[in-house]
Structure 1
Amino acid sequence: MASLLQSGFPARLDVFLRRHLPPEVYDAVRAYERCIVVSNSENHTLKYVVLSDRFIYLTEKPPKSIRRVVALRDVVAIDLKEEKNGPAFWRSKEPRSVNESPPRSEEKIKHFSQLKSELFLKDNSLRRILSLIMELKVAAQKNFILKRLFWKTSDLFYFLVNKLHEYLPESRDKNGLQNQSQRVDELVACIEIIQTLGLMFRETETELSRLNTLAAKKGTLLNLLVILISEPQIPKSCPVFNIQLVADSALVEMSFDAELQKLILEYTDTATALLYEILLVFQQGSLGLGSTKFAISWMMSFLQSCPPIITFVASIVKQVVRGLSASFQLLSPCQAVLLYQQFYILKSCLRHSRTLAEYIRNNYREEFRYFIHMPALKKRLPLCYPITQPTTQLFHEVLKLVE
C-alpha cells in the first residue's frame, strides 16, 4: 500500500486512515479537503471530507472517527457554497510561506517529455535505459502527474513492454544466451521495468486514459501477460578449456549462478505484483467499474491457453508453501502484501478457470492440507498489519475453492 503522504495528506490524517480503513478502502482514497459541514445533525462543523473511488467519508479535525456518508453514484449535483461572514475558524487555514510553492505542472511535463525522448534514442545502452527508467520511477513516485502523462502518451507503455520482450523469456541478443554477466544486467533492467509498470498501474484506476491505452494496445497487454507468467531463461555455465583458469572461472560462475537465481526469485515476485494489478483492471471491468472491454473471465480464458501458466501457477503455490512453512519468523510488510497478491491470483484461477482450478485441486491438495492452512497463516502474519484481515478473508475463500 502506497502512503497517502506522497499525495500531500497530513501525516496525522494519513496515520488515522491507515489504521481505521481496510487496506482496499485506504488504497482507493484519492483526495481530502477541510470543509464546513452543515446537516440536520451538525451546524457549521469543521471536518475533513475524504474522497475515495466510490464513496465520500467524513472525519473530525483532528480525526477521531470516520463514517461513510454518501456513495458517489448517488450524487446528482454539486454546488459551491461560499459564506463570506462564516465562522472564524473557516478563515483559520494555515498560511502558506511566501517561499513555499507547489511544483509547477509545466516542469513535470517537461521532465517527462525529456525522459521519454531520451528513452526512445536508438543508440541507448542497456545501462543507460536502466538509469532513465529508474529516474522515471522515482519521479512518478513523487508526482502523480507523471502517471497520468504515462497513460496519456501510450507509446511509452508500448516501448517498455517491447523492451521486456527483447529480454524475456530469453534474450534476443545471442551474447545474452551465453554470457552470464550480460544476462544479470538484462534481468536487473527487466525487474526495474516491471516495477515501473506496476507503479503506473497503482492508484490510476479512475484514469480514463489508462483504459483507453490498454484497449488500444490490447495486443501489447496480452504480450505483457505472457511475459509475466513465463520463467526467464538463464545461460548455462560455459566450459573453460584453459586449465590454469578453471579454478578462478569456477568461482566466477558460481557467483553469477547465485546472482541469477536470486534475480529469478526477485523477478517472480515483481511479476506477481504486476499480474495482480492487471487482474484488478479486468476485475473492475467484470463489476462494471471499468471498461466493459475487460472482463476477468476473458483474461483467465486467455491465460489458461498459454502453456507457461501451469509452471507459473505451480511456482505461486510453492512460494506460498515456502512462505508459510519455511520458518516461524513473522512476515515483513512487503512479504505480507506479496502473500495477499499470491492468494488473489490463486483465487482468480480457481474461480474463473476450470482448467486451472482442476490442476490446482488435482496436484496440490496435499499442500493445502498440510502446509497451506489457517494455523500456519496465523503464525506468520502479525495482527497489527492492516492487510492481515483481508488476507485472512481471502485465504478462507481460496481454501473453500480448493475443497
Structure 2
Amino acid sequence: MDRARGGTRPCSRGNARLDSFLKRNADRGVYERIRAHEPCVVLSDSINKVYMHVVLSDERLYLTEYLPRTLTAAVSFESVRDIELVNDLPEFLSLKDRERCQHIRITYVTEKPAGKGRDWSRRSNGEGLPPAVSRSRRASHIPPMVKMEGYSAESQWMKEDLQPVRKSTRSASCPNAELLGLPRVPLPPSERPTPSPLSTPPTSPSLSEESLKTLESSQVTHSISSVLSRILRRDPASSAVEREAELHLYAVSETSRLYLHLQSSWNSFIIKSTLMLDPLYRRRCVASPDPGTPSISMERMARLFTQLSSELLQSGIGQEKLYVLLQELRTAAHRYIPLRRLFWRSGEVCAFLVETLEDCLHGCGSLGGAYTADQLLMSTLIVQTLAIMFRETEVEAARINLLSAKKGALASRMLLALVCDPQLSLVNSEIQSLLTEYLDAACTLLFELLLLGHETSRCFSADNFLSVGWSLRVLQPHPHLMAFIGYQAQQVVLVLSGLQESPLSPAQSVLLFQRCGLLLACLQYNPQLAQHLRSSFREEFRFFVKVSCAEEKLSPHHPISRPTLRLVDHIQTRIQYT
C-alpha cells in the first residue's frame, strides 16, 4: 500500500531478505504495521546471548534468527512495565563493541503457570503471548481479531466498513543458540550463506487484489479490543501468579534507533489502549457496525481524500462549511490510519490547517481582545485533527520530510500557533469552558511534537531541526509561553493534590500522562522553562502532589497508569532537587 504510492517504511531499508521473509510469514496487518527491525544480541530466560533480528510492530516485539527461518512473538506491550537504557559495558562483547553497545532492558510481566503442563500456547484458547521466546517447538499464535460494536454516521467516510484480512500465520518457537549452530556471542557473518529451501517457510497463499488493498486500521482496533477485554475480565482470585521477567537487547551500534522505536511504540500502545476503554472513543474508531459493508480500497481512499482536500482548499469557503469539512476529516482520521498517511504526503492540507489556526487564535490575541466561541471551537477542532494525524504515523517518511523542510518552517509555525494566553478569555463560563478544551487539545498536540523531537534529540545533535531542544527554543520568544506551561503545571497539581476526589477517566488519564511528559521535557531540555517551573511550582509539588494520591486517581485497569506514576516521580525529583 505504501510502496504503491512511493512511500517506504524505514524498517524495509537495508535488509531486503529480512523484509521479504516478514512479508511472507507475518499476517498482513502485522507486516504493514512493522515500525523497525535491528540485529541485536538477545538475552532472556530462554535465550543465552544469541545474535538475532528484533522486529518491532505496533503491539509487540518479535524475534527471528539472524538468517531468518521462524518468527516468534517475544513480548507484548500489554505486559511491558518498563523500557530503559542500561549504562554498562557488557563483558561478553569485544572491547570495540562494548564501548558502542546500547543495552536495552525490557521489564515485563508474565504469568507463572498454575498447573503442570499448562503453558502460554494453551492459555485463553491460544490468545496468550509467550512471556519470552519459548524453548518449545510448538507454534505461537497471534491473537484473533475480535469484531467490535460501533455505529454508522452520515458521512461517506463513515458508511464503509473495514473487513480484517486473515492470513495463516506460521510461527514457531525460536531455537536456542546450540540448535542455531551459532557461537555463544555470534557476530554478523562476513559471508551470508543462502538459507536452505527447507529452512524457509513456504510462501503464504495468494490473496485477491482487493483483499491485498484492504486497510489494516480495523485489525489494530480489534486486536487492542481483544487485549483490553482480557485485562478487564481477569479474576485476581483465579488468575495465575504474575512474575516479572526481563528481556535484554544489546544493539552493537552507536547509531541504533531501536530504543527510540521501542519507547515510541510503547507510548503509542498505552495511549490508544487506555483511550479504547472509553466507549465513546471506541465508537469513534469503528468504521461501521455492518459486517456486510464493502471495504474501502486504497484507491477509493485516495480519491475521497483528494475530494475533501479540494473542498477545504477552495477559495472563499465559509466558516460553517469549513467547520463541517474539518469535522469530517477528523472523523475519518480517527478511523482510517491510511488517511493519516495521505495527509502527510499531500502537505497542502497540513499547511492550510496551520495557517487557519494562526488566523483564528492570533488574529484576535495580538490585539489584546477576548476569544470568541467560534474562534475557540474552530481552533480546537484544528488542533485535535492535527494531533490525530500524528498518532500511529511514526514510520511515515513523508511526515518528517514535511515538517523538517525549509529548516523546520512548517513545524515552527505549528508550534507558535498552538500556544495561547490561558488568561485571555475570562468573559463568561461558556468561553472559559471552550478555552479549557482548547488548552487540553493544545497540550496533546505539543506532546506529539515533542515525541517526534525525542528521536531527533537522542540520535543527532540537540540543535537538529525538530529535536526537543529545538522545539522549545522555537517557542521561547512566544509572549504567552510561560503562562501556557504554567497552566499545564497547574492542572497537574490540581489533579494530583486530592482536590478532585473522583478517579480519572481514560481520557483524563491520558491527558495527565501527556501533561507530565510535557513538563518533564521542559525540565530536561530548556533551562529557562525549568527555572520557571521550579520557582513557581516547587512548593506545590513538595506539599500537594503525592504519589499515593496519584495511585488513587489512576485506575489499575488503565495501561497508562504505571508510566504516569513514573513521570510524576521524575518531575518531583527534578523540581525539588535539581
Q: Secondary structure at the match of 1:327?
A: coil
**Alignment-mate amino acid for residue 392 of structure 2:** E
Shift in CA distance, 77/216, structure 1 to aligned 2, threshold 3 Å: farther
**Aligned pair 1:167/2:360, yes or no?**
yes
**Alignment-mate amino acid for residue 508 of structure 2:** Q
**Aligned pair 1:65/2:129, yes or no?**
yes
**Alignment-mate amino acid for residue 396 of structure 1:** D
Q: 2:453 aligns with which of 261, 282, 289?
A: 282
Q: 1:265 aligns with which of 431, 436, 454?
A: 436
Task: Show the counterpart of 2:571.
Answer: 398
Q: 1:334 aligns with which of 504, 507, 514?
A: 507
TM-score of the two chains, using structure 1 as the length reference: 0.72
Report the structure, 1 or 2, having the larger helix content.
Answer: 1
**Aligned pair 1:361/2:534, yes or no?**
yes
**Aligned pair 1:227/2:413, yes or no?**
no
Task: Show the counterpart of 2:303.
Answer: 110
Instruction: Write the deviation string for residues 45-72 of structure 1: whole angstroms up to 9, x where unpaired.
Output: x9769999x9xxxx857232345669xx
Task: Show the counterpart of 1:298.
Answer: 470
Q: Secondary structure at the match of 1:168?
A: helix
Shift in CA distance, 99/369, structure 1 to aligned 2, threshold 3 Å: closer
**Alignment-mate amino acid for residue 140 of structure 1:** A
Q: Secondary structure at the match of 2:355?
A: helix
Task: Show the counterpart of 2:343.
Answer: 150
Task: Show the counterpart of 2:267.
Answer: none
The alpha carbon displacement at 1:379 in A equals 2.2
Q: 2:202 aligns with which of 78, 83, 89?
A: 83
Task: Show the counterpart of 2:380.
Answer: 191
The alpha carbon displacement at 1:173 in A equals 12
Shift in CA distance, 323/161, structure 1 to aligned 2, threshold 3 Å: same
Whether the 8 Å contact between 1:29 and 1:51 is mirrored in structure 2 is no
Task: Show the counterpart of 1:21.
Answer: none
Q: 2:492 aligns with which of 292, 314, 320?
A: 320
**Alignment-mate amino acid for residue 390 of structure 2:** F
Whether the 8 Å contact between 2:361 and 2:375 is mirrored in structure 1 is no
Whether the 8 Å contact between 1:234 and 1:260 is mirrored in structure 2 is no
Partner Cα distance (1:290, 1:135) in 2: 39
Whether the 8 Å contact between 1:281 and 1:290 is mirrored in structure 2 is no
**Alignment-mate amino acid for residue 322 of structure 1:** L
Whether the 8 Å contact between 1:139 and 1:146 is mirrored in structure 2 is yes
Instruction: Write the deviation string for residues 317-363 of structure 1: whole angstroms up to 9, x where unpaired.
Output: 11112212322211111111111111111101111111111111112
The alpha carbon displacement at 1:308 in A equals 1.5
Whether the 8 Å contact between 2:469 and 2:526 is mirrored in structure 1 is yes
**Aligned pair 1:310/2:482, yes or no?**
yes
The share of aligned pairs that are identical, in percent, is 29
Partner Cα distance (1:374, 1:262) in 2: 28
Instruction: Write the deviation string for residues 183-236 of structure 1: whole angstroms up to 9, x where unpaired.
Output: 212211111111110000111111110000001262222122122222268678
Partner Cα distance (1:126, 1:317) in 2: 34
Partner Cα distance (2:443, 2:573) in 1: 22
**Alignment-mate amino acid for residue 219 of structure 1:** A
**Alignment-mate amino acid for residue 342 of structure 2:** L
**Alignment-mate amino acid for residue 311 of structure 1:** A
Partner Cα distance (1:397, 1:77) in 2: 48
Partner Cα distance (1:223, 1:196) in 2: 16
Per mean C-alpha deviation after superposition, the further-off stretch among 157-166 and 135-144 is 135-144
RMSD of the TM alignment (CA)? Answer: 4.1
Partner Cα distance (1:154, 1:108) in 2: 17
Partner Cα distance (1:384, 1:78) in 2: 48
Per mean C-alpha deviation after superposition, the further-off stretch among 314-323 and 260-269 is 314-323
**Alignment-mate amino acid for residue 417 of structure 2:** I
**Alignment-mate amino acid for residue 266 of structure 1:** E
The alpha carbon displacement at 1:262 in A equals 0.4
TM-score of the two chains, using structure 2 as the length reference: 0.51
Whether the 8 Å contact between 1:283 and 1:296 is mirrored in structure 2 is yes
**Alignment-mate amino acid for residue 207 of structure 1:** E
Partner Cα distance (2:329, 2:389) in 1: 10
Task: Show the counterpart of 1:129.
Answer: 322
Whether the 8 Å contact between 1:150 and 1:156 is mirrored in structure 2 is yes
Task: Show the counterpart of 1:202.
Answer: 391
Partner Cα distance (1:99, 1:340) in 2: 39
Q: 1:350 aligns with which of 523, 539, 545?
A: 523
Instruction: Write the deviation string for residues 251-297 of structure 1: whole angstroms up to 9, x where unpaired.
Output: xxxxxx22111000000000000000000011011122999533222
Q: Secondary structure at the match of 2:568?
A: helix
**Alignment-mate amino acid for residue 117 of structure 1:** S
**Alignment-mate amino acid for residue 396 of structure 2:** E
Shift in CA distance, 107/382, structure 1 to aligned 2, threshold 3 Å: same
Instruction: Write the deviation string for residues 73-99 of structure 1: whole angstroms up to 9, x where unpaired.
Output: x99999894538xxxxx98x9xx9x97
Task: Show the counterpart of 2:544.
Answer: 371
Q: Which runs of 5+ in 1 are unaligned?
A: 1-6, 10-27, 85-89, 238-256
Task: Show the counterpart of 1:16.
Answer: none
Partner Cα distance (1:386, 1:379) in 2: 15
Q: Secondary structure at the match of 2:58?
A: strand
In the TM superposition, structure 1's runs of 4+ consecutive aligned residues that sit over 3 Å from their partners are: 28-33, 46-52, 66-70, 74-84, 98-102, 169-174, 232-237, 289-293
Partner Cα distance (1:321, 1:77) in 2: 60
Aligned length: 335
Q: Secondary structure at the match of 1:368?
A: helix
**Alignment-mate amino acid for residue 30 of structure 1:** D
Shift in CA distance, 267/38, structure 1 to aligned 2, threshold 3 Å: closer
Partner Cα distance (1:365, 1:344) in 2: 17
The alpha carbon displacement at 1:170 in A equals 4.1
